[in-house]
């Protein structure tokens, strides 16, 4: 047979099960096995030890599922980037090429080259298909978010409420002006007790997470673009918020991580766990880099920044939907307990389909009331990505039958420092005494003091004119 001798240049034994007269439509299973074999031999990132994504090809390429997949793409507003009809058209083209080779109507070598191009194109399109959506997720945009829980008493908003920008400058603990001479636009610097408060939030979070079974890990901030894309974040194009290094051939392959979810997931690639090793719960504090667009003056200078510190949770479970959903709930409960202890008024939202991105099956956001700004601002997010990331990074476990299965991965923001600083400082500002009251859980990390007061003048960045 021609495909045995020439196609993909694979050993004959791989195709010994093919029928004497191979028809890619009638012998669909044998045909699909050949397509999978070729996909498995793709090398999406030559310089990175990462196999091609093990997508659920049986489901994706089944015509009976095209309407379901198309509807999911539409509900998640991914129409511009994912097209199941195009994928199926490529799939049928590949079938036709196989058939023409078998019928000796196409030269095997030429046919092989055409099949390679078609399957590569099919693979690239399939990577853009979003995760399936939990049936209880609200359909639509941000306005359709469902309030799951409301916690704490909403602080009163007065006309003279001060923002963190104003408080920080009044106390000489924050610099916003002239930062463009030192760093990128939107940069900021914290001094004295504001810098200590930033660290206090980190240490408080570490303590809470370790008590709840999370293991701390320190991860790199510069990671390969293949890891980021495998997590569901594009590194190129108008939707990307990723900073990509652009220095020669080598450094252009690497990016600055937007969250430690990315490097943690990368560290687990090509790993297979025993079932009794799960759930695996990890946490990391890292510097996060995002090409954020300005959100307007009403948000303030610390709400949407290009680099910030964040403590992230990452969990790995079996592929049992009930198990991963319970882990999802556990992450949200832990986030909520910390924010409640810190005295914040907040709401937990079940996010709608258009807010899920590529990877999330379901996502809960937590928004806290920011009194000086007069709106609820997002401070945390928790996503159940099911097997979206594990299929791309080949993270598996061995089930009770000894079979390898793809794990479910979950992530959640334990503490996004700038926004938490904003919420805590604005909510605890005492204008009558000109001080910020430190939340009780943080005082042990702040020298057991109750208040943050004005400090002496801090360094200022300014232009210096040199005369020649």
Token pair belonging to 216: 């701390």
- Per DSSP, the three-state class of 422 is helix
Of 372, 350, 360, 378, nearest in space to 425 by CA? 372
Prior bond of 153 cis (ω within 30°) = no
Residue positions forming the annotated binding site for L-serine = 259, 290, 312, 411
Token pair belonging to 333: 């409960």
Number of other residues whose CB lies within 10 A of the CB of residue 335: 25
C-alpha–C-alpha distance, residues 309 and 328, integer Å: 23
Looking at the chain, the number of H-run helices and the number of E-run strands are 14, 19
- Per DSSP, the three-state class of 194 is helix
- Per DSSP, the three-state class of 48 is coil
Q: Is the separation of the CB atoms in 423 and 368 below 8 Å?
A: yes
Of 199, 184, 192, nearest in space to 167 by CA? 192
Residue with tokens 């939107």: 186
Residue with tokens 């079940």: 350
Residue positions forming the annotated binding site = 259, 290-292, 305-308, 312, 378-381, 411
Residue positions forming the annotated binding site for ATP = 290-292, 305-308, 378-381
Burial group, residue 458, by CB count within 10 angstroms (0-12, 13-18, 19+)? middle
Nearest 10 degrees: Cα torsion 392, 312, 214, 337: -130
Residue with tokens 């078998």: 102
Of 158, 152, 156, 173, nearest in space to 436 by CA? 173
Give residues with Cβ within 8 angstroms of 459, minimum separation 6.
Answer: 175, 191
Give residues with Cβ within 8 angstroms of 77, minimum separation 6.
Answer: 141, 353, 354
C-alpha–C-alpha distance, residues 404 and 236, integer Å: 33
């Amino acid at each position: 047979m021609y495909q045995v001798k020439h196609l993909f240049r694979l050993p004959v034994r791989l195709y010994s099960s093919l029928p004497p007269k191979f028809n890619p439509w009638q012998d669909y299973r044998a045909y699909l096995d050949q397509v999978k074999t070729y996909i498995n031999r793709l090398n999406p990132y030559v310089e990175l030890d990462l196999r091609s994504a093990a997508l659920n090809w049986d489901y994706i390429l089944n015509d009976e599922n095209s309407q379901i997949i198309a509807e999911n793409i539409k509900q998640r507003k991914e129409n511009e980037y994912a097209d199941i009809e195009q994928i199926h058209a490529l799939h049928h083209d590949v079938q036709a090429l196989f058939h023409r080779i078998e019928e000796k109507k196409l030269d095997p070598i030429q046919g092989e080259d055409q099949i390679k191009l078609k399957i590569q194109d099919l693979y690239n399109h399939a990577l853009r298909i979003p995760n399936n959506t939990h049936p209880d997720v609200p359909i639509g945009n941000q306005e359709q978010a469902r309030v799951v829980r409301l916690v704490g008493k909403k602080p009163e908003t007065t006309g003279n409420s001060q923002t963190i920008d104003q408080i920080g400058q009044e106390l000489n603990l924050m610099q916003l002006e002239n930062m463009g001479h030192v760093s990128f636009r939107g940069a900021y610097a914290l001094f004295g007790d504001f810098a200590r408060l930033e660290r206090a939030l980190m240490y408080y979070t570490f303590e809470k997470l370790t008590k709840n079974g999370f293991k701390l890990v320190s991860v790199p901030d510069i990671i390969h673009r293949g890891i980021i894309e495998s997590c569901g974040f594009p590194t190129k194009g108008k939707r990307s918020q990723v900073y990509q290094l652009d220095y020669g051939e080598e450094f252009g392959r690497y990016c600055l991580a937007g969250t430690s979810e990315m490097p943690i997931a990368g560290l687990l690639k090509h790993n297979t766990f025993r079932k009794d090793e799960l759930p695996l719960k990890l946490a990391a504090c890292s510097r996060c880099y995002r090409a954020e667009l300005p959100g307007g003056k009403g948000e303030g200078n610390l709400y949407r920044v290009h680099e910030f510190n964040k403590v992230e949770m990452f969990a790995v479970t079996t592929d049992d939907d009930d198990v991963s959903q319970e882990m999802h709930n556990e992450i949200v409960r832990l986030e909520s307990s910390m924010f409640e202890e810190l005295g914040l008024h907040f709401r937990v939202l079940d996010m709608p389909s258009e807010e899920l991105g590529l990877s999330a099956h379901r996502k809960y956001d937590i928004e806290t009331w920011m009194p000086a700004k007069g709106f609820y601002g997002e401070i945390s997010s928790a996503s159940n990505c099911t097997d979206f990331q594990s299929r791309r990074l080949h993270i598996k476990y061995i089930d009770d039958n000894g079979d390898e299965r793809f794990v479910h991965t979950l992530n959640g923001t334990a503490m996004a420092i700038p926004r938490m600083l904003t919420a805590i400082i604005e909510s605890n500002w005492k204008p009558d005494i000109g001080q910020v009251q430190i939340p009780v859980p943080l005082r042990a990390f702040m020298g057991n003091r109750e208040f943050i007061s004005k400090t002496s003048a801090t360094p200022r960045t300014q232009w210096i004119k040199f005369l020649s």
